[in-house]
Amino acid sequence: MANAPQIGEQTKVTLDLKTIGMIVGFVIMIAGMWFTLQADIQDAKELPKPVIDRIEYDLKDELIRQTIMDTQEDVEAMRDQLDKIDERLYEIQKQR
């Protein structure tokens, strides 16, 4: 079995100028993205909160009310089906 290379104080690492340039460029790119992101976050914090127009509020209110009415109709339909099932079960038990 081959011995694995040991990394320590005596280990020599050689990098050519191209590799060092790529590392420096990568670090500068990441730092630039970080500062741009931080500036965008700060700008977003200072923007005014969006105004909800009366029309938008009315549309959302209408949608919520319609959803409630649809749900109520569904519940009533289920109640009718449950009553029918209950009647059928009663008839079946009465026959026994």
78 and 43 share one domain: no
**Which amino acid type is present at position 75?**
V
Return the percentage of the chain with pLDDT > 90, whole number: 61
Q: Is residue 10 part of a domain?
A: no
63 and 85 share one domain: yes
28 and 57 share one domain: no
Structure tokens at 39: 């500036």
Return the percentage of the chain with pLDDT > 70, whole number: 98
**Which amino acid type is present at position 62?**
E
87 and 58 share one domain: yes
63 and 95 share one domain: yes
Structure tokens at 4: 């694995």
Tell me the residue range of the domain where 67 lies.
50-96
Angle CA 61–64–70, to nearest 5: 140
Q: Is residue 9 part of a domain?
A: no
Structure tokens at 66: 């319609």
The C-alpha atoms of residue 22 and residue 15 are separated, in whole angstroms, by 11
pLDDT tens sequence across 26-62: 999 999 999 999 999 999 998 887 777 888 889 999 9
